[in-house]
Each structure stands twice: as C-alpha cells, then as structure tokens.
Amino acid sequence: MVSFDFTGKIVLITGATGALGRTVARQFHQAGATLALCARDTALLSQLFADLALDPQHLLIDGIDLRQPDDCDRLARAVEGRFGRLDALVNTVGGFTAGPPVHETPLEDWVSMLDMNLRTAFLVSRAIAPILIRSGGGAIVHVSGRAGLAGFGGGAGYCAAKAGVIRLTESLSAELKEYGINVNCLLPGTIDTPSNRAARPDADFSRWVAPDALGEVMMFLCSPAARAIHGAAIPVYGLG
C-alpha cells in the first residue's frame, strides 16, 4: 500500500457506491481526507458508509444523478455550503453495456453510453470547477478507459464516450491549469470487480487491474507529487 497524507484536504468522490468508488473512498479516508461522497442510491450509500454518516466531519449527498444538471448543481451547493472549499474531485461514474454493430444499434443505446460516461463527466466538471477556482487550486480526476484509444466491435458508443472523456480532460486542463488545478484521467483496462467476474467467469482475474491500484494512482494525481502533470491520460492496465 502506497502511503499518502490527505489530512486537512476535502475530497469529493462521485459514484461512491460503485465497486471502484467505494474502494477509492476508503483509501482517501484512510489517508486522512475529509470526504464528500455522492451516489444515486440513497439506501446503499448510507449502508456502505454508515460510519461516515455519523461523523460530522464528512458529508454524504444522496440521490445525485450526474446526468442531470440540477443534481450536479445541488451537489456543488452542498459541498461548498458545508465546507466552503474543495481540494479534489475524483469522478468514478461510468458504465459499459455491450451492444450490436453500429448499423443495428438503437439511438437510445448510443445516447445511454454517451450520457453515462461523457455527459456525467462534463456536467460534474462544469458544476465543481468554480469551487476549485475559488479554493485557489486543486485536482480533478476522471475515469476514461483503454477503449478511449481504440474502438472494438459492439462497443462504439462506449468507445466514443471514453474517447470524449480524454478530450474533455485535455480541454479542462488547458482552461484550469492557470488556476492551479490539475486535470487528468485514467485509462483502466478491465477492472477486477464482482460484476466483471460474473460477466467473464473464465477469465484470468489476476491479470485485471485491482480497484485499489487505480485508487493509488488517483491519490497520486491528487497529491502535490503530481503538480506538474496536466491533461494526462494515464494507462492503468494491470497485466491485461
């Protein structure tokens, strides 16, 4: 386990009930961060982080759907209203659904992949960036994917969305680095999660990237050690 110290730092983690989000939240907590956690599922957020819900140092914001502009604005108001500032946004929201070839893909499936992966990254960045600017600097970390570098059959919407996250990251970095804000994204390979194991039971899970390994890269990108890294798309493939 790599050691980081986020004592006195306020970190917002989106998608905190997901397999990656819940792992990353615990890693930042263990590193001393004050956490603002959000998710759509109210009951699951409270269940997974019951200890933090009882700790007034931290903030749980439930019922947040990052596809909705009003929810993103509500999230921003809650964070700034509670803490008055923010040091990092770690956005773990996203998802993948395999589909048919492009010529057989319903429009709603295409839009769903863009909304889940790219729209969410845009809307939460738009809502949270002003807080980081007013805070005097900080970090934003998004999750793209290896699929953002090269398309594959049955995944056009997902690949296009993840490529968009890379370009969004680069544009945000160009706009925000003069404010002392580092914006970067990760390119995971297959993440070792229960849902991925269920979908591919015959795979060699040891070659997949562990959520806590991704979390360590995220913590690095939010730390002073990454102060010179702007607009990077960092491969984190495991052995895959």
Look at residues 226, 134, 133 and name the one whose alpha carbon lies nearest to residue 186.
226
The answer to whether residue 32 sits within a structural domain is yes
The answer to whether residue 137 sits within a structural domain is yes
Residue 218 is part of a domain; what is its CATH number? 3.40.50.720
Mean pLDDT of the chain: 96
Look at residues 98, 121, 117 and name the one whose alpha carbon lies nearest to residue 170.
121
The answer to whether residue 2 sits within a structural domain is no
Give helix 19-30 / helix 211-221 axis angle, nearest 10°. 50
The answer to whether residue 34 sits within a structural domain is yes
Q: Which of 70-74, 141-145, 198-202 has the lowest mean pLDDT?
A: 198-202
The answer to whether residue 54 sits within a structural domain is yes
Contact between residue 121 and residue 172 where contact means Cβ atoms under 8 Å apart: no
Expressed as residue numbers, the domain containing 204 is 10-236
Q: Tally the domains of the chain.
A: 1
The answer to whether residue 1 sits within a structural domain is no
Which DSSP category does 210 fall into? P
What lies within 8 Å, CB to CB, of 193 at 6+ separation is 19, 20, 211
Predicted TM-score (pTM) of the model is: 0.96
- State residue 1's pLDDT score: 60
The answer to whether residue 198 sits within a structural domain is yes
The sign one gets for the Cα dihedral 96, 23, 13, 135 is negative
The answer to whether residue 49 sits within a structural domain is yes
pLDDT in tens, 25-61: 999 999 999 999 999 999 999 999 999 999 999 999 9
Contact between residue 209 and residue 188 where contact means Cβ atoms under 8 Å apart: yes
d(CA 13, CA 18) in angstroms, rounded, equals: 11
